[in-house]
Amino acid sequence: MEREEFREILLQSLGAIKGGKPVRLTLVRPRNDLLLKKLKEMQYIDTRSIPFQNGYRFIVSSFTHGQYSRFRSDYWEDMDFLSVPYDDFTGILKTTEEHGFVLHGFSAVGKGRIQEDFPRAENGIALKNLNHYLSMGYHPYLLKLRKGGISIQIRKDFNFFFRKSDEECINLIYDTANGILTRREKLFDDLIRLKLSTDAGGKQLHYIPTCSYRRFPGIEDNKISEIVRSVSGSFTMAQGKNGNMIHYSVGESEKSEGKILIDQDNITIVPHWNSRIESSLRILEALKMGGAVTW
C-alpha cells in the first residue's frame, strides 16, 4: 500500500475516535479472517482495522492502558502482537529526523528503568542522554518526539500515540512502520530464516518450526543461558542427552514456551505448541545481539 492510500484510509477511520481522546495505532498481524467480524461481535464498535503491508494491519483506537490489555487478551489467539527489535530504534530515530521530528524524551530499561523528558529542549540533550544510556547497555522502549506543536510517541510494542488533529504524524507513522517491517522481513529471510509452514490449501500457518543455528565458536554455555534468561519470564537449565537444555517461558499473562538444546556446534530452538513468532524472535534477537549464533 502506498503512503497516500494509507493516509486517506486512516483519515477516514479517525472519525471513530470521539472528542479529544488521543489516537492509538497498533500494528498487528491477523492469524485469520475473523478480525473484522469479531470486532463488532465483541462490542469494539469505536475500533477500526485498516490494511497496511503484506497482511499486517493497524488497529485504530483510543484505548487506555486497561482497555488495551483487555483487547490483547480478547484477541490473543487471533493475531500476532508485534514488538520492535531493540536495535531498530536507531533506524526509527533516523526516520523521525528525516521528517523533522525531534526527540524530547524516552524511557529505557537496563540495570534499572530510566525515564527522561525535556519538552522544551532544542539542543538535542534527550538524544545525547539516550546515546549515553545505550552505551551503558540500556534498551529504549518508548520514544517521545515533536515537531513544533505536533507530538507523537512510539512504543516498543508497535503502538503509536498522537492527537487526531496532528495529521502530519501519519506520514511519519507510515515510513517508520514500513522501514521496521522491511528490516524485519530481512531478519526473517536472511538472518533468522524463520519460515512459515504452508498447509495443503496454501494458507500460511503462524507457528514456528524447530530451527538450528550455528553456535558461535568459543561462547560458553553459561553465557548463552544468561542471554536467554535476560528475555525470559521463567527459566530453567538442565543436562540434556547431548548437552545442556534450557526451558524458557516468555510473556506474563500469556506465556509462550519452548526449549533450547545446546551442543558443541549448534543451538536449536524447539518451540512449544503455544509458542508465538514474537517470542521466538525475541529469543533469537537476544542470541544474535549477544553474539551466541552465527550463519
3-state secondary structure 91-115: HHHHHHHHCCCEEEEEEEECCCEEE
Ordered mean pLDDT values, 10 residues apiece, the chain (295 residues): 92 85 91 66 76 89 91 82 76 92 91 86 81 85 92 94 93 93 63 42 50 80 88 79 80 69 84 72 80 74
The residues, ordered by sequence, that sit 6+ positions from 125 with a Cβ below 8 Å of its Cβ are 118
What pLDDT, on a 0 to 100 scale, did the predictor assign at position 197? 42
Q: Where are the domains of the chain?
A: 197-294
Task: Provide CATH code, domain 197-294.
Answer: 3.30.160
Return phi, psi of residue 205, to 5°: -105, 130
Q: What is the pTM of this model?
A: 0.68
CA distance 159 to 108: 16
What pLDDT, on a 0 to 100 scale, did the predictor assign at position 283? 82
> pLDDT tens-digit profile of 73-88?
888 777 878 777 766 7
What pLDDT, on a 0 to 100 scale, did the predictor assign at position 55? 82
What pLDDT, on a 0 to 100 scale, did the predictor assign at position 290? 82
What pLDDT, on a 0 to 100 scale, did the predictor assign at position 150? 93
> pLDDT tens-digit profile of 219-242?
899 899 888 888 887 778 888 767
| CB-CB contact of 269 with 280 (8 Å) | yes
Give CA separation, 212 vs 22, 104, 259, 260, 284, in Å.
44, 42, 12, 9, 11
CA distance 80 to 66: 19
CA distance 51 to 29: 10
